[in-house]
Amino acid sequence: MLSVDHLRFLIGEKKILNDVSAEFEPGKVHGIIGPNGAGKSTLLKNICRIWEPQEGTVFINNSDYRTLSRKALSTIITMVPQNATIGFPIPVYDIVAMGRHPHLGRFQSLTQKDQDIIENALTTTHSYDLKDRNINELSGGECQLVVVARALATEASFILLDEPTSDLDIKHALTIMGLLCDLKAKGKTILVNMHDLNLARRYCDTISIVHRGDIFFVGEPAEAFSEANIQEVFGVNMSEVKDDSRSFLYFYQ
C-alpha cells in the first residue's frame, strides 16, 4: 500500500499542493487527471522524493519513506518523466542498465542476474531489437518505451509515469497503456498522470482528479467522468457517445 499523508508543497510563495491525502491500493493502475497546473506532476515528484514536501509525508506499507535512503527508495519507487529525451548518443542497452544502479555497490559491475533483468525489461517493452541503437536515433514512441524499460529494470513495486502517452501516435499510446495493464497483472502498482481522458477511462482502475492543488475526486472511472465533475474541473461540457459495444467521451465548450 502507498499512501500520501497531508502533503503540502510550495514553490516560493505559490502553493502547489494543499494538504493532499490519498491511498493507492497495490496491483492497480491509478489514473491521475486534472487541468494543466493542477499539481499532478508535483504530486508524483513528491511521492518519489524528487522534490521534498514542506509538510506531510508518504507511507509505503505503513513505513514513512523518509526513513529510507534515496538509493533504497529508488528500488521501491521509480518514475518515468514526461517527454523523456536524452540529447546525446548512448546505446539503448546502457540506458536501461541505469535502472540497475540502485542495486549495485560502488564500482560494482553488472552481474549475470542484472543482465537478465535488463534483457527481460527490453523484451517486455518490445524494445529488445533497439538495444544496440543510440537513444537519440529513436522515434518519440520508441524512446518512451525504452525509458519505461529502464524503470522496469529497477524492479520497483511502484511505477510512476508522468504523461507517458503525450505526443505519441495512437499505436504507441495503446502499446504503453497495454503494457501498464500487463505490469499490473504482474503485481506492480501504477500511478499515471494523463491528459487523454478516454484512455484513462478505458485503462485505469481508479481515477484521482487533482484540482487547484487538492484531490477533488477519487473513485472508479464510471463515477469520475460525470458531466458535473468535468464541468467543474475542466470548464467544458461532456457527452458520452455509444454504439453497440463501446462508448467514448466527447468534450465541447
- Which residues in 212-240 are b (16+ Cβ under 10 Å) and which e? ebebbbbeebeebbeeebbeebbeeebee
| Mean of per-residue pLDDT scores for the chain | 93
Where is average pLDDT lowest: 84-93, 101-110, 172-181?
A: 84-93
Give the global pTM. Answer: 0.92
Mean pLDDT confidence for 57-74: 93
Q: What is the pLDDT of residues 189-239, one digit of tens each?
A: 999 999 999 999 999 999 999 999 999 999 999 999 999 999 999 999 999
What pLDDT does 86 receive?
73
- Which residues in 5-44 are b (16+ Cβ under 10 Å) and which e? bebbbeeeeeebbeebebebeeeebbbbbbbeebbbbbbb
Mean pLDDT confidence for 150-172: 92
Q: What is the pLDDT of residues 99-148, one digit of tens each?
A: 999 999 888 899 999 999 999 999 999 999 999 999 988 988 899 999 99
What pLDDT does 101 receive?
93
Question: Which CATH number, 3.30.420.40, 3.30.70.600, 2.30.42.10, 3.40.50.300, labels domain 27-51+69-252?
Answer: 3.40.50.300
Statement: residue 1 has pLDDT above 90: no
